[in-house]
Amino acid sequence: MATTPKTGARANTTRAAGTTNRRRPATSTTNSTQPATRVDQVQQIAERAVLVPVGAGLIVRDTLVSNVRGLTTKYSTRQGVERELKRYERRGVTARNRFERQVRKTRTRFERDLRQRRRSVEKTVKQNRRRLEREVRTVRKDIEKQSDTLTTRVEKLVGEAQGLISSVS
């Protein structure tokens, strides 16, 4: 039982694939803003090349005009100028105070750290001094004991030697 491409299971898949292809549009979707011809495309590119810098220049001009208007309203009268100067002075005072606080805080932190390190070093030196003095006392006592022992032995030997010398004579 040989099946041909148009019969059997293959025929069903081919037909199914064919029906899905028919549902799709024949061409891909196009954007309606894209020009249809090359001339239109070139024209659109040329327009953009001119319009982009013009638009950017207009935005810069608007920003500049708005800034100048803002400055003229602030500084148009003597009172406005004085008000702005006071505002700048307050801001300067605030910045100076913040800086001074930061310097004091840093100095305090540094001094605290320095004191802690100094105490630690002094404590270590004190402990080492006590340990050294204790060792010196222990060694001194040991030397004194050995000296006393040596003195008594020498005296004993001298006494024995004198006894032997007097018995021989």
Q: What is the pLDDT of residue 129?
A: 97
Q: Cβ distance 30 to 36 under 8 Å?
A: no
22-26, Cβ contacts within 8 angstroms, sequence gap of 24 or more: none
| Structure token digits, residue 9 | 């299971």
Q: What is the pLDDT of residues 92-140, one digit of tens each?
A: 999 999 999 999 999 999 999 999 999 999 999 999 999 999 999 999 9
Q: What pLDDT does 71 receive?
A: 83
- 161 burial (CB, 10 Å; 0-12 / 13-18 / 19+) is exposed
Q: Name the average pLDDT for the chain.
A: 84
Residue 63: count of CB within 10 angstroms of its CB? 10
Residue carrying structure tokens 């270590």: 124
- Name the more confident of 169 and 157: 157
